[in-house]
């Protein structure tokens, strides 16, 4: 089978490798589609994320869907949950599997992901897809789950105002989930050079301001009558976006930090956050979101299909990552059914 592995910063290669053998409790899955996440771009560009580094050639890919090829569920279309918590540690028992001490996460070193034609994965992490949900939508359930968990962390309720700073895939999903949660005022920012993302945010129901050196913070304050938004979501991985989110939220409000900063540091003006008595939540992936993700897609409350702007065969995976890094589209998907 064909596999894409990164060997270090900027070094991705295609390999022919043997089919994986399912272990106990696992099933063989024929991978149909894999999304390219911003974190994947970090892995390829830097060969690391935070303190985790590529020590052995690594298969990326944690936004994925496929078809089960072995066992009693053979032929079933599934979304592949990239997270396999142990279910036994303190954090799992507390109901926080995203904080599992022994977590196996697809595409995060040292655990290989789904950027290949076949994967052996625990059956408990294979989520059945209804006929009405396509494979591409199945791929999008993972980033949608991050958006759902972020909105949960922000405690968004009907009638609230929210700000989204950064309109990539996660930011655009947050706009839709916040709207579904009852937010009545949705304000967003994006860089002026990314007109396609600005248009997508407007289509999703947000009032969008171009990010221009902090000016957007003042514009959001003005648009909210001077009080600021109830909840701000930073989804850009950019220090300027963090600063704008802190500045644009109301006193006593909440800020959720979701983006991955380029140098593994997040900074903001402490006096602004302190005087506002803000609640700051740093979001880590998602938990217990797949059922809700599927329901939102099935009920047409969230449109994730339109966020997929580019598709490439597995043989063109390096080109797919180049497009993602340049932010030429929104969600880039690799079709593993077309290796050549």
> 279-321 pLDDT, tens per residue?
999 999 999 999 999 999 999 999 999 999 999 999 999 999 9
Q: What is the pTM of this model?
A: 0.96
User: Do 135 and 33 touch, CB atoms closer than 8 A?
Assistant: yes
3-state secondary structure labels for all residues of 281-293: EECCCCCCCHHHH
CA atoms in the 13 A half-sphere facing the CB of 306: 14
Task: In whole angstroms, give the CA distance from residue 19 to residue 40.
Answer: 23
Beta strands 229-234 and 249-257 are parallel
Report the 10 Å Cβ neighbour count for 16: 8
User: Do 128 and 77 touch, CB atoms closer than 8 A?
Assistant: yes
Beta strands 63-68 and 26-36 are antiparallel
Backbone angles phi and psi of 310, in degrees to 5:
-140, 140
> Strand, coil or helix: what is 220?
helix
Name the helix (H) or strand (E) containing 177: helix 169-180
Which of the 8 DSSP states describes residue 279? E
Instruction: Indicate the burial class of 155 (C-beta count within 10 angstroms; 0-12, 13-18, 19 or more).
Output: middle
pLDDT, tens digit only, all 340 positions of the chain: 999 999 999 999 999 999 999 999 999 999 999 999 999 999 999 999 988 999 999 999 999 999 999 999 999 999 999 999 999 999 999 999 999 999 999 999 999 999 999 999 999 999 999 999 999 999 999 999 999 999 999 999 999 999 999 999 999 999 999 999 999 999 999 999 999 999 999 999 999 999 988 889 899 999 999 999 999 999 999 999 999 999 999 999 999 999 999 888 999 999 999 999 999 999 999 999 999 999 999 999 999 999 999 999 999 999 999 999 999 999 999 999 854 4
- Given this model, what pLDDT does residue 340 score? 47
Tokens of 225: 């009558």
């Amino acid at each position: 089978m064909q596999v894409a592995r990164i060997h270090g910063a900027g070094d991705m290669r295609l390999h022919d490798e043997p089919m994986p053998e399912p272990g106990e409790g696992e099933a063989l899955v024929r991978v149909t589609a894999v999304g390219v996440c911003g974190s994947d771009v970090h892995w390829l560009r830097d060969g690391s994320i935070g303190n985790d580094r590529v020590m052995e050639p690594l298969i990326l890919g944690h936004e994925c869907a496929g078809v089960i090829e072995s066992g009693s569920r053979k032929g079933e279309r599934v979304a592949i949950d990239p997270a396999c918590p142990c279910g036994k540690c303190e954090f799992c028992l507390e109901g926080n599997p995203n904080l599992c001490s022994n977590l196996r996460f697809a595409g995060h070193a040292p655990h290989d992901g789904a950027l290949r034609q076949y994967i052996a994965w625990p059956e408990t992490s294979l989520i059945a897809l209804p006929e009405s949900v396509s494979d591409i939508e199945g791929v999008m359930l993972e980033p949608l789950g991050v958006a759902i968990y972020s909105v949960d962390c922000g405690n968004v309720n009907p009638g609230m105002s929210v700000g989204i700073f950064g309109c990539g895939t996660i930011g655009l999903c947050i706009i839709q989930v916040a709207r579904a949660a009852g937010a009545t005022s949705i304000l967003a920012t994006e860089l002026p050079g990314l007109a396609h993302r600005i248009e997508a945010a407007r289509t999703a129901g947000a009032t969008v301001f171009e990010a221009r050196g902090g000016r957007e913070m003042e514009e959001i304050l003005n648009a909210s009558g001077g009080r600021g938004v109830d909840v701000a979501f930073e989804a850009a991985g950019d220090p300027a976006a963090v600063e704008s989110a802190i500045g644009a939220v109301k006193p006593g409000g909440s800020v959720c930090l979701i983006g991955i900063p380029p140098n593994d540091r997040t900074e903001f003006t402490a006096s602004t956050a302190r005087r506002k008595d803000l609640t700051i939540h740093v979001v880590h992936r998602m938990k217990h979101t797949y059922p809700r993700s599927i329901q939102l897609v099935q009920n047409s409350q969230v449109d994730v299909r339109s966020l997929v702007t580019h598709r490439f065969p597995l043989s063109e995976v390096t080109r797919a990552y180049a497009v993602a890094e340049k932010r030429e589209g929104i969600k880039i998907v690799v079709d593993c059914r077309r290796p050549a």
